[in-house]
Amino acid sequence: MKDCFSSNTLLPFDQALDNMLAAIEPVTEQEDISINDAQDRILASDISSPVNVPPYDNSAMDGYAFSHHSFTEQQNLQLFGTSIAGKPFNEPCPPLHCIRIMTGAKMPIGCDTVEMQENATVVEQQIHFSAMRKLGANVRKTGEDIKQGQLVYQRGKRLNAIDLGLLASLGINAVQVYRKLTVALIATGDELKTPSETLNDGEIFESNSHVLSAMLHKLNVKVINFGIVKDEEAALKRAFISADEQADAIISCGGVSVGDADYTKKVLEQLGQIGFWKIAMKPGKPFAFGKLPNSVFFGLPGNPVSATVTAHVLAIPALLKMQNCCAIKPTTLRVICRDALKKRAGRIDFQRGIFSIDDQGQAIVRSTGSQGSGILSSLAQANCYIVLPSEQGNVVAGEIVDVRLFDQFIG
Ligand code: AMP
Ligand code: MG
């Protein structure tokens, strides 16, 4: 039966991504959590600052605070008191007097300028400055970093280490975030063994679930790993039903191309609406996407490079949308390609590249060599994709190409 995700034609990459994103519904459930637990969580509401940062005028230096217009360079100032961080000097400072002040200490009333101690000579409570500062020098003004009421974060922000510190500096100890996603991982194939097993003839070690699980942890989702499921209808059906009951999204790898032993298609078509696509991209032509009763489904090709690249450039953007995360656009540069690249027109290529700056300071990219979709070692050496558009043919050495730098999910 045809469904809204079906397509018989070779789908352009951008269209496949757009179709998928259009079908993704972001989670709506929210929770209040401590900032101690908030790393990599997604903010569910805007945050405005409840306070000024800094909350009061204070000194940026260890030195002497005084009123700028009350004296001239030739004069001495009489020491009147001390203001240290956490112990402000609360009396007004009279003209021609100064207050010994430490970094971060509150500016005393009547003072507007600080001279650092290195420029001061002290003789019996009389302070003399070797140079005259400008009015307001070395003073950090109230609210100069953040003003009370100022919008600091917008909904959809993924909180990083610095954000948690900034929130703490505003006196915010709890935040409203979206709930975490749960993603189920299923590796399919009779030939697959875990790295702790012994291989029989015709078997290989399963690697995709390790790549995918690590990528998903960087997205800060809960991962339910179903491990290796045999190419058997009943086993696959059990795994998919159980995954659908527990997870927001299911990522499987293997069994999405047309092959006799590939039961995924048969099983999934019984359970939900799934499109088995041929995307005009390399690696990763076969790709499945659709909806099961409770979850969305991403069916990645089994070849390790194809599985990794499609997870990275297709599944991750969809999961980011599901998380409500304001996705940051990938960093793309136009640089000189030092190697000749083989490419056939008709599909967008995500070739594996090594981006660097050469001895002349020129940004360049080189190929990692063999680009077979099963050659994970070529991906392991790479730090970028060389993105060659669909209509592009072979690349000659010295040509300018688009490079998409690896981000935190794959790098
Ligand atoms: P498939 O998409 O199932 O036809 O698999 C394509 C190729 O990828 C085959 O050579 C498989 O042995 C290999 N493969 C499939 N799944 C995995 C996996 N999870 N880890 C490593 N290789 C895999
Ligand atoms: Mg297979």
Confidence of residue 260 (pLDDT cuts 50, 70, 90): low
Instruction: Please tell me whether residues 265 and 197 are part of one structural domain.
Output: yes
Question: For position 315, what pLDDT does the model report?
Answer: 98
Mean pLDDT of all residues in the chain? Answer: 94
* pLDDT tens-digit map of 199-243: 999 999 999 999 999 999 999 999 999 999 999 999 999 999 999
State which of 156, 178, 200 marks the end of a domain.
178
Identify the burial level of 336 via C-beta atoms within 10 angstroms of its C-beta, where 0-12 means exposed, 13-18 middle and 19 or more buried.
middle
| Mean pLDDT confidence for 188-202 | 97
Residue 154: which CATH number?
3.90.105.10
Q: Is the pLDDT of residue 1 over 50?
A: no
How close is the Cα of 215 to the center of ligand 1, in Å?
18
264 lines ligand 1 (CB under 6 A): no
State which of 87, 118, 140 marks the end of a domain.
140
Q: Which atom of ligand 1 is nearest to the CA of 188?
A: 16
Residue 344 lies in a domain: yes
Instruction: Please tell me whether residues 44 and 159 are part of one structural domain.
Output: yes
Q: What percent of the chain has pLDDT over 90?
A: 88
What CA–CA distances, in Å, run from 26 to 37, 248, 274, 293, 357? 22, 10, 19, 16, 39
Number of domains in the chain: 4
**Closest Cα to atom 7, ligand 1: which residue?**
303
Residue 84 lies in a domain: yes
Instruction: Please tell me whether residues 252 and 204 are part of one structural domain.
Output: yes
Distance CA 274, CA 23 (A): 12
Distance CA 407, CA 378 (A): 17
Question: For position 261, what pLDDT does the model report?
Answer: 64
Instruction: Please tell me whether residues 195 and 315 are part of one structural domain.
Output: yes
Question: For position 3, what pLDDT does the model report?
Answer: 60
Report angle CA 151, 22, 39 to the nearest 5 degrees.
40
How close is the Cα of 267 to the center of ligand 2, in Å?
14
Q: What are φ and ψ of residue 296, in 5° steps?
A: -100, 155
Least confident of 10-24, 102-116, 180-194, 363-377: 363-377
Instruction: Please tell me whether residues 221 and 318 are part of one structural domain.
Output: yes
Residue 411 lies in a domain: no
Q: Is the pLDDT of residue 97 over 50?
A: yes
Instruction: Please tell me whether residues 71 and 117 are part of one structural domain.
Output: yes
Looking only at the bridges linking them, the beta strands covering 222-229 and 182-188 are parallel
Instruction: Please tell me whether residues 68 and 108 are part of one structural domain.
Output: yes
Question: For position 411, what pLDDT does the model report?
Answer: 82
Question: For position 71, what pLDDT does the model report?
Answer: 75
Instruction: Please tell me whether residues 208 and 281 are part of one structural domain.
Output: yes
Residue 253: which CATH number?
3.40.980.10
pTM recorded for the entire structure: 0.92
How close is the Cα of 203 to the center of ligand 2, in Å?
11
Instruction: Please tell me whether residues 211 and 306 are part of one structural domain.
Output: yes
Strands, E assignment, 254-309: 273-282, 286-291, 296-300
Q: How many Cβ atoms from other residues are within 10 Å of residue 126's Cβ?
A: 13
Domain that holds residue 131: 58-140
Q: Is the pLDDT of residue 133 over 90?
A: no
Distance CA 133, CA 68 (A): 8
Q: What are φ and ψ of residue 92, in 5° steps?
A: -65, 145
The helix/strand/coil state of 114 is strand
Residue 3 lies in a domain: no
259 lines ligand 1 (CB under 6 A): yes
Instruction: Please tell me whether residues 168 and 285 are part of one structural domain.
Output: no
Residue 255 lies in a domain: yes
213 lines ligand 1 (CB under 6 A): no
Residue 327 lies in a domain: no
Question: For position 385, what pLDDT does the model report?
Answer: 98
Question: For position 140, what pLDDT does the model report?
Answer: 97
* pLDDT tens-digit map of 334-389: 999 999 999 999 999 999 999 999 999 999 999 999 888 888 898 999 999 999 99
- Widest Cα–Cα separation across the chain: 96
Instruction: Please tell me whether residues 93 and 120 are part of one structural domain.
Output: yes
